[in-house]
Amino acid sequence: MPTFLLKTEPGEFSFDDLVAKKLATWDGVANPGALATLRTIRKGDELLIYHTGDEKAIVGIAIATSDPYEDPKQRGLTPDGKPKFAVLDVKPLRTGKTDAHGRVPKPVTLAAIKADARFKDFALVRQARLSVMAVPVELDRAIRALAGP
């Protein structure tokens, strides 16, 4: 089961907001590359949630509770007439690496990831502006090891 990384600006929607809501629709993805990756996510895939801005760290784990579907709030079309925007339902996921609400004990910072040679080709490092990306399995393992406990 593939893992993905989703970025969010915590001032707009934070992992704590997701914990409070228990279930949320992950919307607002507009970048075509990010949308293309989002459309490959399937129900049951695990999602590493990253806070941009001041935090710059992976702070929690979530799970897709739906396949991607057309954004009901933004029904734009691509030039070839297909829905442009897709969204996804997500909820926090408790794992052996998280607390009861899906938060990781030790947020994995961008600085730590950049300092680790294993991540040198990771999209988080290579493409700062990409907001949805696949996480190769070995990097997923490395991130979860860094996240503790």
- The whole-angstrom distance between residue 59's C-alpha and the CA centroid of its chain comes to 10
Q: Is position 39 an interface residue for DNA (rule: CB under 7 A)? A: no
CB of 96 to DNA, least distance (A): 27
Q: Is position 30 an interface residue for DNA (rule: CB under 7 A)? A: yes
**CA angle (25, 26, 32) in 5-degree steps:** 140
Q: Is position 52 an interface residue for DNA (rule: CB under 7 A)? A: yes
Question: Which of 131, 55, 51, 49 minimizes the C-alpha distance to 98?
Answer: 49
Q: Is position 114 an interface residue for DNA (rule: CB under 7 A)? A: yes
CB of 8 to DNA, least distance (A): 8
Provide the residue type at 116 as one letter: D
Decide if 27 contacts 34 (C-beta within 8 A): no
Which parts of this chain interact with DNA (CB under 7 A)?
7, 9, 30-33, 52-53, 56, 110-111, 114, 127-129, 131
